[in-house]
């Protein structure tokens, strides 16, 4: 029965947007063709009565999204950072979704804290405020520890949020199956894989023990980053549905005028937001995956303070190098190298013509570099690049979805702080520094040393591995190996030689 139920949910989505008056605003913001507008309206109009009414006090789009549930709210949060896509008016509406949603009652939060920590709230905190921020998944209370008098932020999951998210994701998955079945050109996007990836990320957000661990790890990896802070986790006051961190005073990143009035340099902050994200992604391979304005504050000293670590991204070292080479290739307008990187990484099928692909990439990059600095957009680049890779048969890379999405979000945050910021100039020093450190002679020596040490560690097993391989392929041993030399001794000698070489390259001898 899930199929019919999901069809009703999708119809209800359209009906809710129609009933709240949000559909017309979305059409205007996205400049939808009249024919498409008419077709969608004709489909949902008979079902208008099914739509949720929402909160009349809210603007239409925000009203519709909040009525539909947490997964829709998450999507709206992303769009709130992109006025270049949805327009300034709609972006301002959607910004409400970041941390100003209707809270649930404080007494329910106190019950959740007591149940999770197995102690009455009054025996843990001398003060426990009304909600100071409420988002799609949880809300935050300001509290004071009874034992030490220190101020903390207590994050509490919304009651029943797990069930609500599973319901919404199930409807998204149904829509992805329909797309996969009836729209063959969209199969290269792997919509089901995309939904699975989204589900894994979001469901991880619903266990605050994992978020606490992510915050702790992120604090360690960014400890030396100047101008950046991660509040400390209070583990004794945290659990699956509760997370407690140090309280930090600051101005929300969306309050640009207040930031300027406090004497902070918004242009420098915009550059820092972008560069810190790239540094975390490229240097550490571990980055904040939900870095919108609602999750950033500026403290009295001008430091960026990050919150909400439920969505964190990881990328392996090889993928980081590929990503960096693609970015630096566009910055340097070396489209041939960008094309080569796509082929080397296997992102584009090997039977396609690399010269034609490089030419298509030039058509992507050159119009962007001809724009005024204030109009250069990495979001626009990704959109154009998407069109080109579709023509050349490139499939969606699920491991890069979060990275690309966060890059778009971070660009939106930087643009809000400094609308005239040149994204490429801001990114260049970080990407070039990473390329220099990870692809230069020192990096080559470091990689070779690491490989040698790994081979040395596994040298006792190399004969067994080689023998198993030879048996599987039924290939006799090569004649270059002297029969009188025992196999184990030969491979141990090779391993020892590689270990010595690795030690020399690593500077250990």
Catalytic residue ranges: 290
Handedness of CA 201, 203, 205, 208 (dihedral sign): negative
Q: Where are the beta strands (DSSP E) in 93-218?
A: 125-134, 138-145, 151-157
User: What's the rounded Cα separation, in Å, for the pair 261 and 341?
Assistant: 45
Find out whether 263 and 175 touch, Cβ atoms under 8 Å.
no
User: What's the rounded Cα separation, in Å, for the pair 357 and 371?
Assistant: 23
Q: Distance of alpha carbon 70 from its chain centroid, rounded? A: 17
Find out whether 16 and 51 touch, Cβ atoms under 8 Å.
yes
* Cβ count near 106 (within 10 Å): 15
Q: Is 149 helix (H, G, I), strand (E, B) or coil?
A: coil
Residue labelled with tokens 């990473």 = 434
Structure-block tokens of residue 91: 């972006």
Tell me whether residue 157 is exposed, middle or buried, using C-beta atoms within 10 angstroms of its C-beta: 0 to 12, 13 to 18, 19 or more: buried
CB-based contacts of 103: which residues, under 8 Å, 6+ apart?
130, 131, 134, 139
Q: Characterize 255-294 residue by residue with b for buried, 16 or more Cβ atoms within 10 angstroms of its Cβ, and e for exposed.
A: ebeebeeeebebeebbbbbbbbbbbbbbbbebbbbbbbbb
Q: Distance of alpha carbon 227 from its chain centroid, rounded? A: 21
Find out whether 237 and 244 touch, Cβ atoms under 8 Å.
yes
Secondary structure (DSSP) of 322-349 = HHHHHHHHHHTT-HHHHHHHHHHTTSS-
Find out whether 96 and 389 touch, Cβ atoms under 8 Å.
no
Q: Is 81 helix (H, G, I), strand (E, B) or coil?
A: coil
User: What's the rounded Cα separation, in Å, for the pair 47 and 42?
Assistant: 10
Work out whether strand 304-306 and strand 228-229 pair parallel, antiparallel, or are unpaired. parallel
């Amino acid at each position: 029965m899930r199929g019919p139920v999901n069809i009703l949910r999708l119809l209800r989505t359209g009906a809710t947007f129609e009933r709240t008056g949000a559909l017309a605003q979305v059409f205007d913001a996205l400049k939808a063709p009249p024919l498409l507008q008419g077709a969608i309206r004709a489909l949902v109009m008979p079902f208008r009565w099914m739509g949720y009414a929402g909160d009349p006090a809210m603007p239409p789009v925000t009203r519709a999204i909040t009525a539909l549930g947490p997964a829709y709210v998450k999507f709206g949060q992303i769009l709130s950072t992109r006025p270049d896509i949805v327009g300034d008016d709609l972006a301002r509406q959607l910004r409400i979704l970041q941390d100003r949603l209707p809270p649930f009652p404080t007494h329910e939060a106190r019950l959740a804290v007591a149940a999770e920590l197995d102690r009455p709230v009054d025996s843990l905190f001398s003060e426990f405020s009304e909600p100071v921020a409420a988002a799609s998944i949880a809300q935050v209370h300001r509290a004071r520890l009874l034992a030490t008098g220190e101020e903390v932020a207590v994050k509490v999951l919304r009651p029943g949020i797990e069930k609500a998210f599973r319901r919404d994701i199930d409807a998204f998955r149904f829509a992805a199956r329909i797309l996969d079945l009836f729209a063959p050109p969209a199969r290269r996007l792997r919509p089901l894989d995309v939904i699975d990836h989204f589900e894994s990320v979001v469901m991880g957000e619903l266990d605050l023990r994992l978020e606490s661990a992510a915050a702790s790890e992120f604090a360690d990896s960014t400890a030396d980053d100047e101008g950046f802070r991660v509040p400390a986790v209070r583990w004794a006051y945290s659990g699956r549905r509760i997370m407690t961190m140090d309280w930090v005073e600051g101005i929300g990143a969306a309050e640009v005028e207040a930031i300027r009035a406090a004497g902070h340099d918004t242009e420098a902050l915009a550059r820092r937001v972008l560069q810190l994200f790239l540094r975390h992604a490229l240097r550490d391979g571990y980055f904040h995956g939900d870095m919108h304005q609602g999750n950033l504050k500026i403290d009295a000293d001008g430091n960026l303070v990050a919150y909400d670590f439920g969505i964190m991204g990881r990328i392996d070292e090889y993928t980081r190098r590929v990503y960096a080479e693609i970015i630096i290739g566009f910055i340097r307008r070396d489209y041939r190298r960008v094309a080569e990187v796509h082929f080397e990484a296997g992102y584009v099928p090997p039977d396609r013509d690399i010269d034609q692909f490089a030419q298509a990439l030039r058509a992507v990059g050159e119009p962007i570099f001809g724009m005024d600095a204030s109009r250069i957009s990495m979001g626009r680049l990704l959109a154009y690049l998407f069109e080109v890779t579709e023509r050349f048969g490139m499939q969606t890379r699920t491991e890069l979805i979060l990275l690309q999405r966060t890059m778009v979000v971070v660009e939106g945050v930087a643009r809000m702080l400094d609308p005239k910021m040149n994204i490429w100039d801001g990114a260049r020093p970080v990407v070039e520094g990473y390329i220099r450190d990870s692809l230069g002679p020192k990096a080559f020596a470091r990689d070779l040393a690491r490989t040698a040490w790994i081979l040395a560690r596994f040298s006792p097993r190399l004969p067994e591995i080689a023998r198993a391989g030879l048996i599987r392929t039924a290939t006799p041993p090569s004649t270059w190996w002297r029969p009188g030399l025992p196999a184990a001794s030969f491979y141990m000698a090779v391993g020892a030689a590689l270990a010595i070489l690795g030690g020399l390259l690593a500077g250990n001898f």
